[in-house]
Amino acid sequence: MLRIAKLPIAVFALAIMVFPWTAHRIPAIEHYPDIMVFAGIYCLITMGLSLLMGYAGQISIGHAAFFGIGAYISAILTTNYGMNPWACMVIGMAVTAVVAVLVGAPSLKLRGHYLAMATLAFGIIIFIIFNEEIEWTGGPDGMSGIPGLTLFGFEFNSVERYYYLVWGFVIAAFIFTVNVIQSGTGRALRAIHASEPAARAMGVDVSRFKILVFVYSAVLASLAGSLYAHYLNFVNPATFDLFFSIKLLIMIALGGMHNIWGAIVGTGLITFLSNEWLHYFEEFEVIVYGAILLFVTVLLPEGLAGVPGIVKGWFRR
Amino acid sequence: MSAGMEENVLELQGVVMTFGGLMALSNLNFNVRRGMIKAIIGPNGAGKTTLFNVITGSFPPTKGTVKFKGQPIQHLKAHKIADRGISRTFQTVELFGNMTVLENVMLGCYTRIRTSFMASGFVLPRSRRKEKRIKESALKILKFIGLIHKFKDSADSLPLGEQKLLEIGRALASEPELICLDEPAAGLNETETHVASSLIRAINAKGITVLLVEHDMKVVMNISDEILVLNYGQKIAEGPPQNIRNSPRVIEAYLGAGEV
């Protein structure tokens, strides 16, 4: 049985809760909660991707686009039309779901390289739209003045407040995703990964499931995009480029695709690397990512999530 | 099995399957009566697996009708046909190697008990009860096929003989009315073949109709009530084993094989 232990989830949730309180007292890591906000936002995307890629076995190199759609819908509707940010967030998710169905229905009939190319192309198209539809998106300069989030008069106006908001979403999405993985639905997804003909022969509607997971992962990315826009109060197209889609893949490859924890660990590490620990490398940062990806694919095909298993293997010998 | 009055579970009428210019099945007519074990034999490339793929909905036939319990199903997708009550195994084992033995059989229950994406995400009590029922049902099947002691092992780790049994178990989990077994004895040693044959008989004894493709003539002659012989996509003989054994057309088709 695929069982994901409850204890580590509880410990993790507790650690997330006390982290800002601790970081506040240590000057060297005082600004870490800010980085953690971004890590949390990216975790929302990579969790969905992990379900899509690691469990259901479908590739997407276009998730930066869904992240961008969420961010831009929030940005445009709040700044130009003065709409309620929470409503915009929901509208963003709904629009993304529709786009994901339209893109996913034909693309998910493709396999392997072809699916990768289709989602890649989609990502590039959306990136071009963000750049060129200047009237709507502000073009390469982006959009500023996006309002912050408020709930019943409570303003999420400090890093810490926003940290708890984002990680609240992350933990909720994490639990939902873990439940799906452990259910008959998760079993069906893993079956599709292993053998589509056999899954079909056992009554699994393969195309429907592929689209469903694709949409779920896209909607999470859209939610992440909205949270991103309201946190930074600014968006520009560069955030949602092809490289970001690849970075998302590096995150789940490093953490381990076949394990939902992998998404969390990989995302956390890469976010800290790119926001903090890799400044020293400046523009050579990309080379470090390349090296990480190479190292992981060759030596740790199951990512960091596979390390405990390898260590256990040593002791058994 | 006395002939005559029984209802036909499966009826094929004028089934044609062409791939480009190649005619894999040409104007095939035959019936499978409820409760029987029917074997399909024929030389390599005779269209046996194609026939299975047409029946189970991997692709629709070019022409003709396939009726299951009187209803045409030739236009249905594979998963819909599975829902109707036809289950199958594959010539080259198609297990979910990334899952355990138990999980493979649990997935087999999918046609009968399923939860929606949302219900599984929110773990409604209903979905938890369903999961329990699935597990109980799967364990029963593992006992039946004799793999209960390996329920935790990954499906990949089993020897071929047990993988074949597990595939049959997975197909059984959907509680089908018709089970299509594609070469259940291929690649098995004598002992394993014996185990597989007894299992097929036991399945049939539960009232499940069995349609199988098999090359091992000993198995076919031993367990089947009726045999259909295909050659170049055409039916060249149909009848009880003793008739097939002596049919000159069958002997001709197999000439050189020396088995019949």
In chain A, where the domains are located = 6-17+35-241
In A, minimum Cα distance to B179 occurs at: A201
* Domain ranges, residue B38: 1-85+215-260
What does R_g of chain A's alpha carbons equal in angstroms? 19
pLDDT at position B248: 84
B166 found inside a domain: no
Single out the residue of A186, A182, A79 nearest to residue A138, CA to CA: A79
Find chain B residues with C-beta within 8 A of A185's C-beta. Answer: 115-117, 120
Along the 317 residues of chain A, how does pLDDT read in single tens digits?
467 888 888 999 999 999 988 888 888 888 899 999 999 999 999 999 999 999 999 999 999 999 999 999 999 999 999 899 999 999 999 999 999 999 998 888 887 788 889 999 999 999 999 999 988 888 899 999 999 998 988 889 889 899 999 999 999 999 999 999 999 999 999 999 999 999 999 999 999 999 999 999 999 999 999 999 999 999 999 999 999 999 999 999 999 988 899 999 999 999 999 888 877 777 788 888 889 889 988 988 888 988 888 888 888 76
B229 found inside a domain: yes
pLDDT at position A45: 97
Q: Which residues contact B83 (CB under 8 A, 6 or more apart)?
A: A203, B111
Decide if B95 and A180 are in contact by the 8 Å CB cutoff. Answer: no
Q: Is residue A10 classed exposed, middle or buried when 0-12, 13-18 and 19+ CB atoms within 10 A define those classes?
A: exposed
Decide if B107 and A193 are in contact by the 8 Å CB cutoff. Answer: no
In A, minimum Cα distance to B96 occurs at: A194
pLDDT at position B2: 42
A212 close contact with B: CB closer than 8 A: yes
Contact between B39 and B212 (Cβ < 8 Å): yes
What does R_g of chain B's alpha carbons equal in angstroms? 19
In A, minimum Cα distance to B94 occurs at: A198
A206 close contact with B: CB closer than 8 A: yes
> From the list B94, B108, B123, which residue is nearest A179 (CB)?
B123
| Interchain CB contacts (distance < 8 Å): A and B | 111
Single out the residue of B48, B93, B58 nearest to residue B186, CA to CA: B93
In B, minimum Cα distance to A179 occurs at: B121
Going by pLDDT thresholds of 50, 70 and 90, the confidence category of residue B240 is: very high
A-facing residues of B in 74-133 (CB < 8 A) are: 77-79, 82-83, 87-88, 90, 94-100, 102-103, 106-108, 110-111, 113-117, 120-123, 127, 130-131
The dihedral region occupied by B37, where left means phi > 0, alpha psi between -120 and 50, and beta the remainder, is beta
CATH of the domain at B60: 3.40.50.300
Least trusted range by pLDDT, from A83-92, A154-163, B123-132, B204-213: B123-132
**Angle, alpha carbons B129-A55-A315 (nearest 5°):** 95
- Backbone CA torsion sign across B153, B156, B160, B166: positive
Percentages helix, strand, coil for chain A (3-state, rounded to 5) are 80, 5, 20
Decide if B78 and A179 are in contact by the 8 Å CB cutoff. Answer: no
- pTM of this structure: 0.91
B184 found inside a domain: no
**H or E element at residue B19:** strand B8-19
Q: How many angstroms from the chain centroid is the CA of residue A239?
A: 14
B181 found inside a domain: no
Find chain B residues with C-beta within 8 A of A193's C-beta. Answer: 98
Find chain B residues with C-beta within 8 A of A198's C-beta. Answer: 90, 94-96, 170
Q: Which of B98, B153, B154, B163 to mutate to test the interface with A (most CBs of A within 10 A)?
A: B98
Buried b (16+ CB within 10 A) or exposed e, A101-114: eebbeebbeeeeee
HSE value, Cβ hemisphere, 13 Å, CA-based, for A45: 37
pLDDT at position A276: 82
Q: How many folded domains does chain B comprise?
A: 1
